[in-house]
Amino acid sequence: MIKTTKSLSEILKEAKTVVIVGCSPDPYRTSNYAAGYLKDRGYTIIPVNPTADKILGEKCYPSLNDIPESVEVDIVNIFRNSRYSEMEVKGVAEWKARTGQNPVVWTQLDVSSAGAELAAEEAELPYVRNKCIMVELDKL
């Protein structure tokens, strides 16, 4: 499900910076592989994980709120268990209110929840539900 006025191809073609919430430093985890995949294709990646200082050579932030406000974010890709998805989307909504930015919230396969989708709708955040960003990028 996509709740945005733009197509997935438009979102991916226009985006420059992707925050990866739940990015793992473990190269065998999907979130790490996806981050590397995006980086290799020219995206600026910003890993978010409170347990790591750097991932794939990039500074890692403990939370979305720790990313400097001057950094323009196009997509917030959520790679956490679905039980946290609503909390993470609410965090993006709070970040949006503080920074004035309106990134696309992208939830990976099996990460979304009804609560997350509702939180995005209430915050008027563009929302992509249960889509693999690598698969969609490959379609381009």
DSSP string, 59-81: E-BSSGGGS-TTS--SEEEE-S-
The b/e string for 90-119 (b: 16+ C-beta within 10 A; e otherwise) is bbbbebbeebeeebbbbbbeebbbeebbeb
Which residue segment(s) compose the domain that 12 sits in? 2-139
For residues 49 and 22, the answer to whether their CB atoms sit within 8 Å is: yes
- What CATH number does residue 84 fall under? 3.40.50.720
What pLDDT, on the 0 to 100 scale, is given for residue 113? 84
Number of domains in the chain: 1
Q: Give, for all 140 residues of the chain, the pLDDT tens digit.
A: 456 678 899 999 999 999 999 999 999 999 999 999 999 999 999 999 999 999 999 999 999 999 998 999 999 999 987 888 878 888 898 889 889 999 999 998 888 888 888 888 899 999 998 899 999 999 98
